[in-house]
């Protein structure tokens, strides 16, 4: 089992306290490269890899230009394909798990299996306030009254703070998930978070993702086979009818379609 680190993120805090790696001082003990240099790298990567490069080539490009401590993988713990494929070329990579306090038990169990079985280090990224503290400050069940603010407090702000110590992050965003994601690039500059963003599985279908997971016997959230093709927080995730938009179960009954992490 790899080291498991806990990041309690408050406001604009830095990477997990006491964790080795990038942090404010950059990868491998050097300063984080300047923004213009990282922007130029992102532009070169986007040009070199195009729109449909193979996932292994995308990750290989990252491994060539970035050191492992400067890289993070975001994982919702629906499946473990992204952490697995990244760790094949960047062993020991940090995997960021947004511990919102509202997860399904199955999601938390999958998180533990990923930490136990893969060559990664799981970092739990938590909001500044616990759920109870948020209820006291904002009123109970903020997710029902203002889901956008709840996502901002429990997902977007903590992730933004955690990413401050890295030069690049991988996400599992796929183009087939929703119309808003249809043009997702493989490599881009993430201006909102201030680092390079890489989506190596962007061209994959859900079916390919599941086939790959089964072929490599990877940890997978059991909810995927119980009508939940897109898994978020328990209060805001519903079962999806067969053949329906995979993300139609997220914030069902509202006009909200994204939590804000990728917009």
* pLDDT tens-digit map of 149-207: 999 999 999 999 999 999 999 999 999 877 878 889 999 999 999 999 999 999 999 89
Beta-strand pair 5-8/120-126: parallel
So what's the pLDDT on residue 101? 95
Q: Tell me the per-residue pLDDT of 217-234, one tens digit each, with 9 for 90 and over.
A: 999 999 999 988 889 999
So what's the pLDDT on residue 19? 36
- Residue 125 sits at φ, ψ, to 5 deg, of -105, 110
Q: What is the mean pLDDT of the chain?
A: 86
Average of per-residue pLDDT across 7-35:
49
CATH topology of domain 6-227: Rossmann fold (3.40.50)
Alpha helices in the chain (DSSP H): 35-49, 55-65, 81-89, 105-117, 131-138, 142-145, 147-151, 157-162, 206-215
pLDDT band at 8 (very low <50, low <70, confident <90, very high): low
**Predicted structure pTM score:** 0.85
As annotated, the active-site residues are 259
């Amino acid at each position: 089992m790899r080291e498991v680190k806990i990041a309690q993120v408050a406001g604009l805090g830095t990477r997990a306290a006491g964790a080795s790696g990038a942090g404010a001082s950059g990868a491998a003990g050097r300063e984080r490269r300047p923004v213009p240099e990282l922007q130029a790298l992102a532009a070169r990567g986007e040009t070199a890899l195009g729109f449909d490069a193979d996932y292994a080539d995308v990750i290989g490009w990252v491994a060539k230009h970035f050191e492992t401590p400067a890289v993070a993988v975001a994982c919702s713990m629906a499946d473990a394909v992204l952490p697995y494929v990244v760790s094949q070329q960047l062993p020991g990579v940090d995997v960021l798990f947004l511990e919102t306090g509202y997860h399904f038990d199955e999601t938390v169990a999958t998180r533990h299996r990923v930490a136990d079985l893969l060559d990664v280090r799981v970092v739990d990224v938590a909001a500044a306030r616990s759920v109870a503290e948020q209820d006291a400050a904002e009123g109970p069940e903020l997710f029902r009254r203002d889901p956008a603010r709840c996502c901002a407090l429990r997902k977007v702000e903590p992730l933004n703070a955690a990413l401050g110590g890295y030069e690049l992050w991988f996400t599992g965003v796929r183009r087939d998930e929703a119309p808003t994601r249809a043009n997702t690039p493989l490599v881009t500059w993430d201006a909102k978070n201030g680092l390079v963003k890489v989506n190596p599985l962007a061209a994959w279908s859900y079916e390919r993702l599941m086939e790959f997971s089964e072929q490599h016997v990877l940890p997978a959230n059991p909810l995927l086979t119980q009508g939940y093709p897109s898994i978020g927080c328990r209060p805001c995730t519903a079962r999806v009818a067969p053949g329906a938009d995979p993300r139609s179960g997220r914030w069902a009954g509202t006009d909200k379609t994204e939590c804000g992490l990728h917009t």
